Amino acid sequence: MPIQKFTLGTPGEVSQPDAIKAAFAEFFSMIIFVFAGQGSGLAFDKLTDGGSATPSGLIMASLAHAFALFVAVSVGANISGGHVNPAVTFGALVGGNISLFRSIMYWIVQLLGSVVACFLLKFATGGKVTPAFALSTGVSVWNAFIFEAVMTFGLVYTVYATAIDPKRENLGIIAPISIGFIVGANILVGGAFDGASMNPAVSFGPAVVTWSWSHHWVYWLGPMAGAAIAAIFYDTLFISDSVHEPLTQYNDF
């Protein structure tokens, strides 16, 4: 079971050169992802006078996030593993693929990268702010929780299958492409209901900039629950103890 593979690590781990490099990689990858992904919504609003909440706006958001995540994962893969998501890091932690201390380090820089990206967007657009994630009319917090949990389950399951599973051989560029595609597809499904975050850091940056925290817990608890379930299921069903190797990053992209 994954819980048996959980590793605490040591406090000194965060001062190691490879851990520091990994943290910087996660920080910059998060800036790239949030700036391009969230910025696409601001751009579409400007071009269409508030049309980001239309079907075409949803498609644009889906494509922008898919492309941006593909790049963000790719550029960080060989350094940090290209998590670019606290929920992905949590899923890797549950499966024993990263230590707790390094996970905490990742979470801090992921959140900071999202905040920095949102402030950069605000300055670059002359004061426009990235709207905080919110529930659509008629969508309850528990509806949103299920959406976030199921969508993040699909994301982390894809990460395990294409990037963590030691039996995957060398899938090369397929891993970041698959990860970007599942996020883009999920946005088409859940974007009209709760914004389809699947990423606590992506929700955190806009919430800080706008100081809007309504139902914010949903965008943490849902993704973390979905990530944990995906890690437990995939590791238990498909990764045998005999071949499991604890990883700190996803290699061989």
Tokens of 93: 């932690």
Condensed to tens digits (0 to 9), the pLDDT of residues 95-154 reads 999 999 999 999 999 999 999 999 999 999 999 989 999 999 999 999 999 999 999 999
Condensed to tens digits (0 to 9), the pLDDT of residues 32-54 reads 999 999 999 898 888 887 665 68
Distance between terminal CA atoms of the chain?
Answer: 26
Condensed to tens digits (0 to 9), the pLDDT of residues 16-37 reads 999 999 999 999 999 999 999 9
State the Cα–Cα distance between residues 31 and 38, nearest whole angstrom: 10
Q: What backbone phi and psi angles, to 5 degrees, belong to 39?
A: -65, -30
The domains located in the chain, with CATH, are 2-238 (1.20.1080.10)
Element (H, E) at 108: helix 100-124
Cα dihedral sign, 61-66-69-75: negative
**Backbone region of residue 104 per phi and psi (left: phi > 0; alpha: psi in -120 to 50; beta: other values):** alpha
Q: What is the pLDDT of residue 166?
A: 87
Q: What is the pLDDT of residue 6?
A: 74
Closest CA to 191 of 30, 80, 53: 53
Length in residues, the chain: 253
Condensed to tens digits (0 to 9), the pLDDT of residues 60-109 reads 999 999 999 999 999 999 999 999 999 999 999 999 999 999 999 999 99
Closest CA to 196 of 159, 163, 154: 154
State the Cα–Cα distance between residues 211 and 218, nearest whole angstrom: 16
Q: What is the pLDDT of residue 171?
A: 66
Q: What is the pLDDT of residue 122?
A: 96
